[in-house]
Structure 1
């Protein structure tokens, strides 16, 4: 492993094939939820991958049987109580989206189990998003008591249309991998046992493609996301405004109760 990845704590790295870097989100016992450390690392890693001459394609997945259960509840609580934490995470949330959009290397996501909130940003903004049939994709914001910010406003309407976006984002309904493929929210759906093999197969094809052609095709297509930038910035501001409101305290209490006595994969949020 090159030195540029040695600094990471919550993200683990391996090379499943030549010039393919696989990034694994790992937060043991918490369904790979994005705590303070992981949230910051998910911002920085795309810059490192973009500038790494040894990487032609990357894969993002979660450790074990979960992609990511979203924002860690301890971090959410800290954001609701401390303005400096809130502003730091707001900037990280913005940079996470833009760093993903601007990364020139092709990215494949492999989602299984809960795929929620902050982790879902990488899952859905990947160039090729793959979900197992049994994945549970949930935005999670309105259940917590804040506006659906992060990636949702910038990418959900483009992927699956405004009507479906409103239904799933406002009601916070889970989307199975099978349904996500049907409505166009993800690129592909596989059986759970085939997920990681399929992600590697796709990454191999990308890794041997023309770097110039892929880079500029991705850049051109992502202009749709860049044009939605003002909408995204507004949604993010509205989301983080909500962390000072009473709904977040009620939402946190409800979510903590659902996660007792341990994290429940059937109810990541």
Structure 2
């Protein structure tokens, strides 16, 4: 596959996947998701690979979710250029690939992990954050949501009350705050982030690959039912994108004006 939206390389048993759209804070479009799925599947099939590191290009962002400027192109309400159960993004497929690849995935969060980008780090096996990283949700602010892994699995990690706070208020949290809520495993100086992720990946490579694989499957088993919830979520999201309410969130973001959701409470 010709890669334009991500960087991908494999060295000494470690696959490095970098979302490479720094000009839009590494927001993803349909092609980005397709390339990410391809890279994860390539790492899955390569028996030499024992761990995967996912990060974002530049210093500002890990990923800020779906590119709002791509939403609604070509006359539709979803994202153009893909399938994804009607929303134009194969996000559910990507989430399942990250969860099911029998090798640990380390999120190296170098900046903003917001919206769909926040969900990506949540479903990774481990998260190492730069001390400059910021985390949070934005879906309800722009007429979107992730009622699957992005909410149900998040609640397993941080607890029901905190997960509701994260989604209902759409505030941003520092790396240290996320460390306290057990949403990240480790916080390091920004300059040391890639080195720290590499060090953990190398430690994983020293372990039995079969043991690691079976442990990952075991950890996943308890939350496997969320896959069905995720399917329902993406199906409903496709219908929601076809409403004026969702469009108001996108338009307000693009036009850089206050969103007017109150009119939909009448």
The TM-score with structure 1 as length reference comes to 0.85
* Number of aligned positions between the proteins: 253
Of 136, 160, 163, the residue aligned with 1:162 is 160
> Aligned residue for 1:60?
54
> Aligned residue for 1:183?
181
Of 15, 30, 35, the residue aligned with 2:29 is 35
- Does the aligned pair in 2 maintain the 1:153–1:235 contact within 8 Å? no
SS at match of 2:31: helix
User: Where does 1:214-229 land on structure 2 (aligned, <5 Å)?
Assistant: 214-229=212-227
The CA RMSD measured in Å over matched residues stands at: 2.3
- Does the aligned pair in 1 maintain the 2:17–2:39 contact within 8 Å? no
2:129 is aligned with 1:111? no
- Does the aligned pair in 1 maintain the 2:21–2:27 contact within 8 Å? yes
Of 195, 207, 220, the residue aligned with 1:197 is 195
Deviation at 1:40, TM superposition (A): 1.7
Q: Which has the higher helix share?
A: 1
2:7 is aligned with 1:12? yes
**1:48–1:31 CA distance, 2 compared to 1 (3 A):** same
Deviation at 1:89, TM superposition (A): 2.8
- Does the aligned pair in 2 maintain the 1:154–1:229 contact within 8 Å? no
Aligned-partner Cα distance in 2 for 1:224–1:7: 37
* Deviant stretches of 4+, over 6 Å: none
- Higher RCO structure (Cα 8 Å, ≥6 apart): 1
The TM-score with structure 2 as length reference comes to 0.86
Structure 1 residues 106-157: Cα deviation after superposition (integer angstroms, max 9, x where no partner): 1111002111233333322111111122212122211111233363124201
